[in-house]
Structure 1
Amino acid sequence: MPVVSNMEEFMEAVEDFFSENPERTRVTMKYRHCDAKLTLKVTDDYKVAQYKTGNLMDVKKVEKMASQTIRAMATK
């Protein structure tokens, strides 16, 4: 499973996955409190991109990405 190196690349991957196959694309989030790590994963059952972070600033970017994704799903 490829791990993306920064949040911007992950957001681009989400947009690419969604534009190619909007019905099959899923984004999941998992937070491990003991490690203080947030893991994000996007998949369309054929390709997968994953991003892991412990940076608090990335949480705001995750909120922005989630709202953009939901907005895009609602308009299509």
Structure 2
Amino acid sequence: MSTTDTRPHGAATTTATTFSSTADLTSALIRAAIAHGQHETRTGAEDPNWPDWYAAYIVAEQAGTELPL
């Protein structure tokens, strides 16, 4: 059986994303929000898929991999 990977571009495949506190998660969400605002400025459009973008950003940031643009 073949499956298609439906994770957002840049999502890590082998590293769990964890936070030790709500403050750590809050900080990650704030950093993602700031970066996403810059992303929308670059593209010149609102991103209706912002939850996927945030998730990909946070996972990549924590894994130390390339962040989405």
* Greater percentage in helix: 2
TM score, norm. by length of structure 1: 0.34
Q: Which has the higher contact order (CA 8 A, sep 6+)?
A: 2
TM score, norm. by length of structure 2: 0.36
* Greater percentage in strand: 1
Higher gyration radius (CA): 2
